[in-house]
Amino acid sequence: MSGLFDFLQARSVPDAAAVADGPASEPPAGTARRRLTAATIPEQVAKHLGQAILNGQYAPGEQIKEQAIAELFGISRGPVRDALRVLQAQGLVEISPRRGAFVVELQLNDVIDIFNIRSALLSLAVRYLAINPDKAALAPLRERLAELKDLGSQDEPALIEFVRAIGRMGVGLMHACGNRQLIQAYRTLPHDGIWQMLWVTTRPMDYMTRARRQESVRDYTQVLAAIEAGGADQAERTMRKIMQDSRNEVIRQMSQAHGEAIEAFRLQTI
């Protein structure tokens, strides 16, 4: 459904748009070639194309033409194909045999599933951490919680900063659990590009009120307290609540903008 991408793109924050340097699908004559540095060529191309998609330079369902991109960057089509595979893994494009790569058409049910999968992994992480706590790993979590409390107590904090602090808390909990398989699964989640779009590239659709931010701070405080007390069940329940509350608020806003049907069973899985 193209409307959801349009909705998210309309919320694009100015800073994100300013950073984007992605090419259009058909570069105009005389367009200067992009310079690629630091990372591998496919990674750099994927970054540029991903920013272009997230900032609305490609429409949902639009084809990304390999030859046009190769000419823009002054490279062969091989690295472009590799870049498109990276974007496919991030959930931003779909690659069809003999047809090419197309920008995904985001569905509300997809967004629900993205939240549910992350909830399952984070809930398992805090459970592991409560059962087998690493005292050294808990210290950074206390620091991140203190940062979150400080931002949450402000009447008008920079919303993006609060959201980033939430993200750092989640990543901190995941790494503190020490489970390599779980951490790897979290790192390689599909649709990471869409997740970034929900929280970073666009104006966040949660934590917009002081009451909501303080509720989130209380929940994370309870998670850490449960971990330190060895309360695995409580830590897991609260982590699921955190993800469910955020998911439901995002879906509420998206549903108001678009009348897409939701499969209700998906909302019962957290």
**What pLDDT does residue 9 have?**
54
**What pLDDT does residue 80 have?**
96
**What pLDDT does residue 51 have?**
78
Residue 8: partners with Cβ closer than 8 Å, 6 or more residues away: 106, 197, 198, 201, 202
The predicted model scores a pTM of 0.71
Strand partners, 94: 102
Tens digits of residue pLDDT in 172-193: 999 999 999 999 999 988 777 7
CATH code for residues 108-268 = 1.20.120.530
Under-70 pLDDT residues of the chain: 1-39, 54-56, 157, 197, 200-203, 257-259
**What pLDDT does residue 55 have?**
66
- What's phi and psi for 35, nearest 5 deg? -100, 130
Topology of domain 2-103 in CATH is Arc Repressor Mutant, subunit A (1.10.10)
**What pLDDT does residue 243 have?**
97
Tens digits of residue pLDDT in 128-166: 999 998 889 999 999 999 999 999 988 776 888 899 999
Strand partners, 102: 63, 94
User: Where are the chain's structural domains?
Assistant: 2-103, 108-268
**Does this chain's domain 2-103 share its CATH topology with 108-268?**
no
**What pLDDT does residue 146 have?**
97
**What pLDDT does residue 24 have?**
33
**What pLDDT does residue 108 have?**
85
What's the rounded Cα separation, in Å, for the pair 247 and 87?
24
Specify the 3-state DSSP secondary structure of 174.
Answer: helix
